[in-house]
Amino acid sequence: MGLRKEVLHPPLDIRALNEGLEDLGHGVGDERILDGAAISITKLRRKPLGELTIQNAETLVRHALGEVPVEVSICMTGPGQIWLITGRTDDQRLYLQADAADRTALVVVSS
């Protein structure tokens, strides 16, 4: 199951959305009304894996979430690129690859 991105019509003012988040509740799949537009909020459980060094071959990363992540965030801390190898992620591990050896990034998984 992947994350779903929805476009709302009419578009929401992002400031109004940010200011209204405290009033939206904290459950998974909450639906609320903000300025006449229905929005749906799903809380994700995030687990930072820290700053990782990834090689230019498939690199095994253990996340131990106990379920397959629905989101993997990669924030580069040095030059280059790192990407997720799709189709190999399971409830304990994922695989990343870089464009060159010894690329670094902060990685966060969410379920």
- Looking at residue 39, its pLDDT comes to 62
Q: Are residues 28 and 54 in the same domain?
A: no
Give me the domain span that covers residue 81: 46-110
List, for residues 61-91, the tens digit of each pLDDT value: 999 899 999 999 999 999 999 999 999 899 9
Average pLDDT over residues 23-37: 49
pLDDT bin (cut points 50, 70, 90) of residue 93 is: very high
Calpha distance 83→58 (Å, rounded): 10
- Looking at residue 32, its pLDDT comes to 54
From the number of C-beta atoms within 10 Å of its C-beta (0-12, 13-18, 19+), residue 60 rates as exposed
Q: Are residues 53 and 38 in the same domain?
A: no
pLDDT bin (cut points 50, 70, 90) of residue 102 is: very high
Q: For the chain, what is the mean pLDDT?
A: 77
Q: Considering the entire predicted model, what is its pTM?
A: 0.63
* Number of domains forming the structure of the chain: 2
- Looking at residue 45, its pLDDT comes to 85
